[in-house]
């Protein structure tokens, strides 16, 4: 092996080598390798990257490419305690930024930096998935919710004493949140349990019934049930599985997308906590129907606190014969699942980016075709479905397509989990039939002051009060589950501005329109907010938004202008009051005084025309 020119001694190298060996120096497991190094050494320095490169047979810059892609990986050494404050709009509205300031003061660490003694690091993170119990903070892998100043101070003082973050949890949440392997203060906030997912049920009944029928019959049943993907796009699940089943290949994969990153959604958090068995049963049904032997649960980094729990559920199922070799005694049906941790990238919720991430690459979407069901993970047919979709599939196999199809609307069958947060009395998870009206939902969550509703997260639509009769379903208002309620007190343009920053930060940067266009959208919205825009700027925003939506390569860019466009359409007055007339023939955005400032400085004199008291100089 060639010498490592960046090496500064044996200790780091030993740790890195041993981590690489843990994954058989497999380049496709690069994300796991880097996550372990980050965990053990608190950072992945160029020297460490060099060792990883040598071990896995790639170049150092490739390793750097992956490290620099994910928010939870860093090339600098971070503190022993990493504090991530959720900076989503809901958390901000509940005082998240004040909480960050308390951590900063109490621990002597600036946001984005390390404390002088190197023990603590503090960062903002875009979305922790705790909007129903905001403001929230993640310290290493432990989640803290509903933070108050007092609670933040208590945590800080214990941290200074050297306490383990996990030992700072003051009370456990409900249900499995109190389980020995979770022990989290997160609460489920299940406000309404529907008949498909959140009521009392037998997690394995659907799997057992499935194994009694032909794989083909399962696909037919899903088609008949009209099951559509629950992630937001609503693609027919049966059709997806069928393509995978019909594609000739040596093997195929089943991936569960538990990378719930759309701001405002947290319903998968609840399913992972309370319905893990059902979800895995659904994955196993998928495996049986397409003859797959291996599956992956892609768990977002923010939900790392659920990992030991999920691992134990998998292990328990192996012991019960529900996973592994000869499932339920059926010779020839072998299927097992591993957990792939994410590393802080919203884009990895996009199925092909998620696959890239599982392959140890930068989490960039892939060109389609081929679609993942034809050639996905490692080039093999791959089914990627949302947590909720797998859960529904298992229930359909238990109770039949007629039962499932009788719930919901024509095109949107079954129930849907809605994650409701913001200005309402009862934020939480609601399982309601598809087709429920916004009005009905608002009544249940008790939001009499609701003036605007963001349906489907920042990539969805902001609707106004006159649209509250619309229905939540694929035919009308589709959503992967996120519903954020805003009262009249909220500044909609601040929300737009903040979520454009979110898209700028979370764009993978692969294609021009999404990488650059979103920056331009935000810059213009900033000008609108400052009152420096005129009517023509509305056309600019519309045209730019259209180019981004039409020419981007994946769903992120297709939907990132939605919030700008829907607020312009549904809240025109919010924009109109800030627009200027330009009676003087100058552009509203053009400020002659600030434009002259640099010339004044360089010329060391004032302007004869624009400085009225020029002669006095």
Partner 1 sequence: MSDSFKFEIDGVEVLARRGQSIMQAADEAGIYIPRLCDVEGLEPQGSCRVCVVKQNGRVVSACTQPVIEGSIVENESEEILGYRRDLVRMLYHEGNHLCPICEASGRCELQAMGYRLGITQATKYPYLQPVRPVDASHPDIVLDTNRCILCGRCIRASRDIDKKHVFEYVGRGIRKRVGVNGYNLADTDIALSDRAIDLATCPVGCIIQKGRGFFAPIGERQFDKRPITLGILPVKERSEQ
Helix/strand/coil (H/E/C) assignment for every residue in 184-230: CCCCCCEEECCCCCCCCCCCCHHHHHHHCCCHHHHHHHHHHHCCECC
Tell me how far, at minimum, the Cβ of 68 lies from partner 1, in Å. 4
d(CA 159, CA 119) in angstroms, rounded, equals 10
Nearer to partner 1, 259 or 506 (CB): 506
Nearer to partner 1, 205 or 538 (CB): 538
- Choose the binding region for partner 1 from 196-204, 318-326, 476-484, 551-559 (rule: CB under 8 A): 551-559
d(CA 362, CA 382) in angstroms, rounded, equals 19
Residue 139 CB-half CA count within 13 A: 24
Contact 127, 259 (CB under 8 A): no
Among 288, 404, 510, 575, binds partner 1 (CB under 8 A): 510
Nearer to partner 1, 61 or 592 (CB): 61
Any bridge partners for residue 297, and if so which? 256, 339
Neighbour tally for 125: CB within 10 Å: 21
- What tokens appear for 307 in the block? 């990992």
Among 29, 60, 84, 209, binds partner 1 (CB under 8 A): 60
DSSP 291-355: T--EEEEEE-GGGGGGHHHHHHHHHHHHHTTSSBSSGGG-TT--BEEEEEE--S-GGGGSHHHHH
Tell me how far, at minimum, the Cβ of 505 lies from partner 1, in Å. 6
- Choose the binding region for partner 1 from 111-119, 381-389, 547-555, 598-606 (rule: CB under 8 A): 547-555
d(CA 152, CA 102) in angstroms, rounded, equals 7
- Choose the binding region for partner 1 from 56-64, 222-230, 285-293, 312-320 (rule: CB under 8 A): 56-64
Among 512, 529, 565, 600, binds partner 1 (CB under 8 A): 512
Through-space distance between the first and last CA atoms of the chain, rounded to whole angstroms: 72
Query: Going residue by residue from 309 to 348, which x/- string records binding to partner 1, judged by CB under 8 A?
Result: ------------------------------------x---
Q: Is 177 in the site for partner 1 (CB under 8 A)?
A: no
For helices 276-290 and 307-319, the axis angle rounded to 10 degrees is 60
> 598: which residues sit within 8 A by CB, 6+ positions away?
none
Cα–Cα distance list, 529 to 126, 190, 231, 476, 533 (Å): 22, 38, 33, 31, 8
Tell me how far, at minimum, the Cβ of 377 lies from partner 1, in Å. 20
DSSP 14-29: HHHHHHHHHTTT-GGG
Nearer to partner 1, 127 or 266 (CB): 127
Nearer to partner 1, 25 or 547 (CB): 547
Any bridge partners for residue 360, and if so which? none
Query: Going residue by residue from 458 to 477, which x/- string records binding to partner 1, judged by CB under 8 A?
Result: --------------------
Among 52, 506, 567, 570, binds partner 1 (CB under 8 A): 506
**Residues comprising the chain, all counted:** 617
d(CA 85, CA 153) in angstroms, rounded, equals 14
Determine whether 526 is exposed, middle or buried from the number of CB atoms within 10 Å of its CB (0-12, 13-18, 19+). Answer: middle
Q: Is 87 in the site for partner 1 (CB under 8 A)?
A: no
Within residues 348-377, the interface with partner 1 by CB under 8 A covers: 362, 367, 369
**If we measure between CA atoms, which residue out of 354, 412, 405 comes closest to residue 383?**
354
Nearer to partner 1, 136 or 507 (CB): 507
d(CA 430, CA 479) in angstroms, rounded, equals 13
Q: Is 72 in the site for partner 1 (CB under 8 A)?
A: no
Phi, psi (rounded to 5 degrees) for 524: -75, -35
- Choose the binding region for partner 1 from 400-408, 474-482, 540-548, 577-585 (rule: CB under 8 A): 540-548
Q: Is 59 in the site for partner 1 (CB under 8 A)?
A: yes
Q: Is 550 in the site for partner 1 (CB under 8 A)?
A: yes
Q: Is 523 in the site for partner 1 (CB under 8 A)?
A: yes
Tell me how far, at minimum, the Cβ of 591 lies from partner 1, in Å. 14
Among 544, 564, 568, 588, binds partner 1 (CB under 8 A): 544
Q: Is 551 in the site for partner 1 (CB under 8 A)?
A: yes
Q: Is 55 in the site for partner 1 (CB under 8 A)?
A: no
Nearer to partner 1, 73 or 280 (CB): 73
Contact 279, 387 (CB under 8 A): yes
Among 151, 470, 471, 515, binds partner 1 (CB under 8 A): 515
Q: Is 490 in the site for partner 1 (CB under 8 A)?
A: no
Within residues 12-51, the interface with partner 1 by CB under 8 A covers: 46
Nearer to partner 1, 536 or 597 (CB): 536
Place of tokens 């020995």: 180
Tell me how far, at minimum, the Cβ of 25 lies from partner 1, in Å. 17
Among 513, 533, 563, 574, binds partner 1 (CB under 8 A): 513
- Choose the binding region for partner 1 from 216-224, 331-339, 455-463, 536-544 (rule: CB under 8 A): 536-544
Q: What number of chain residues touch partner 1 (CB under 8 A)? A: 39
Query: Does residue 135 have a cis bond before it (omega within 30 degrees)?
Result: yes
Binding positions for partner 1, rule: CB under 8 A: 46, 58-62, 64-65, 68-69, 345, 362, 367, 369, 504-513, 515-520, 523, 540, 543-544, 547, 550-553
């Amino acid at each position: 092996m060639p010498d490592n020119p960046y090496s500064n001694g044996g200790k780091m190298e030993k740790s890195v080598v041993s981590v690489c060996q843990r994954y058989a120096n497999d380049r496709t497991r690069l994300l796991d390798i880097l996550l372990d190094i980050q965990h053990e050494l608190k950072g992945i320095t160029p020297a460490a990257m060099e060792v990883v490169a040598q071990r896995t047979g790639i170049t150092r810059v490739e390793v750097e490419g992956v490290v620099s892609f994910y928010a939870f990986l860093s090339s600098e050494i971070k503190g022993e305690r990493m504090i991530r404050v959720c900076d989503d709009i809901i958390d901000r509205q509940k005082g998240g930024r004040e909480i960050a300031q308390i951590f900063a003061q109490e621990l002597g660490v600036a946001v984005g930096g390390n404390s002088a003694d190197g023990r603590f690091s503090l960062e903002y993170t875009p979305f922790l998935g705790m909007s129903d119990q905001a403001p929230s903070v993640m310290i290493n892998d432990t989640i803290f919710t509903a933070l108050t100043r007092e609670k933040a101070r208590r945590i800080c003082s214990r941290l200074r004493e050297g306490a383990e973050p996990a030992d700072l949890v003051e009370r456990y949440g409900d249900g499995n949140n109190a389980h020995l392997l979770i022990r989290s203060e997160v609460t489920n906030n299940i406000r309404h349990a529907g008949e498909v997912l959140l009521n009392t049920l037998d997690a394995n009944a659907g799997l057992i019934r499935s194994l009694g029928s032909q794989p083909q019959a399962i696909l037919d049943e899903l088609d008949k049930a009209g099951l559509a993907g629950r992630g937001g796009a609503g693609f027919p699940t049966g059709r997806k599985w069928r393509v995978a089943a019909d594609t000739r290949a040596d093997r195929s994969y089943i991936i569960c997308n538990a990378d719930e990153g759309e701001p405002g959604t947290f319903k998968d958090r609840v399913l992972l906590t309370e319905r893990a068995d059902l979800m895995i049963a659904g994955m196993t049904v998928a495996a049986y129907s397409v003859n797959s032997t291996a599956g992956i649960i892609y768990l977002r980094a923010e939900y790392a606190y659920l990992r030991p729990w999920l691992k134990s559920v998998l292990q328990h199922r192996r012991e019960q014969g529900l996973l592994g070799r000869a499932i339920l005694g059926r010779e020839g049906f072998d299927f097992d699942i591993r957990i792939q941790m994410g590393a802080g990238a919203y884009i990895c919720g996009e199925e092909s980016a998620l696959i890239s991430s599982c392959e140890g690459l930068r989490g960039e979407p892939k060109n389609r075709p081929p679609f993942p069901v034809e050639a996905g993970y490692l080039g093999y047919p791959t089914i990627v479905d949302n947590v909720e979709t797998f859960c529904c599939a298992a229930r359909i196999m238990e109770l039949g397509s007629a039962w499932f199809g009788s719930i919901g609307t024509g095109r949107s069958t079954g129930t849907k989990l809605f994650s409701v947060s913001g200005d309402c009395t009862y934020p939480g998870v609601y399982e309601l039939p598809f087709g429920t009206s916004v009005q009905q939902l608002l009544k249940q969550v008790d939001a009499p002051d609701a003036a605007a509703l963001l349906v489907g997260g920042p990539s969805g639509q902001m609707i106004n009060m006159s649209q509250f009769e619309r229905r939540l379903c694929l035919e009308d208002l589709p959503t992967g589950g996120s519903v954020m309620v805003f009262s009249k007190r909220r500044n909609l343009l601040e929300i737009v501005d903040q979520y454009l920053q979110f898209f700028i930060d979370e764009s993978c940067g692969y294609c021009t329109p999404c990488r650059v266009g979103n920056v331009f959208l935000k810059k213009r919205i900033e000008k609108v907010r400052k009152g420096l825009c005129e009517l023509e700027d509305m056309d600019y925003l519309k045209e730019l938004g259209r180019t981004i939506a039409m020419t981007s390569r994946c769903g992120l860019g297709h939907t990132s202008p939605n919030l700008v466009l829907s607020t312009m359409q549904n809240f025109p007055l919010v924009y109109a009051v800030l627009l200027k007339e330009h009676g003087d023939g100058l552009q509203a955005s053009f400020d002659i005084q600030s434009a002259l400032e640099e010339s004044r400085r360089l010329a060391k004199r004032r302007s004869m025309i624009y400085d009225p008291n020029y002669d006095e100089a």
